Amino acid sequence: MVEDNQPDASQIARILENGELIQLDFATDGRHALEQLEATTYDCIIADYMLPDMEGSDLLANIQSGQRQPATPLIVYSAKDFSKTEKQN
């Protein structure tokens, strides 16, 4: 999970909590997430769109361009109110 806000990360972790069936790793920014992706294989990536060092779209582009687990599902969420143009991109 890539989330810079600890309360939000904790809330998502509680939602996903399922005993020992799900193991969560956390990164607080895109750079650390990309470093973790180099070292570990994940079944799914959950990321906030608004990270301190990059947007979720930049994180996705970095994952895809670097061949960092290109087939891994990526869920990007946000509290941001996107404009019509942003929604189309």
DSSP letters, the chain, are: -B-S-HHHHHHHHHHH-BTBS-----BSSHHHHHHHHHH---S-EEEESB-SS-BHHHHHHHHHHTTSSTTS-EEEE-S----HHHHH-
CATH code for the domain in which residue 67 is found: 3.40.50.2300
pLDDT digits 0-9 by tens, 5-22: 898 899 988 888 877 788
Tens of pLDDT, residue by residue over 74-89, are 888 887 777 777 767 6
Query: Per the domain annotation, does 84 fall within a domain?
Result: no
Q: Whole domain around residue 62: which residue ranges?
A: 6-79
Q: Is residue 86 in some structural domain?
A: no
48 belongs to a structural domain = yes
Model-level pTM greater than 0.85?
A: no
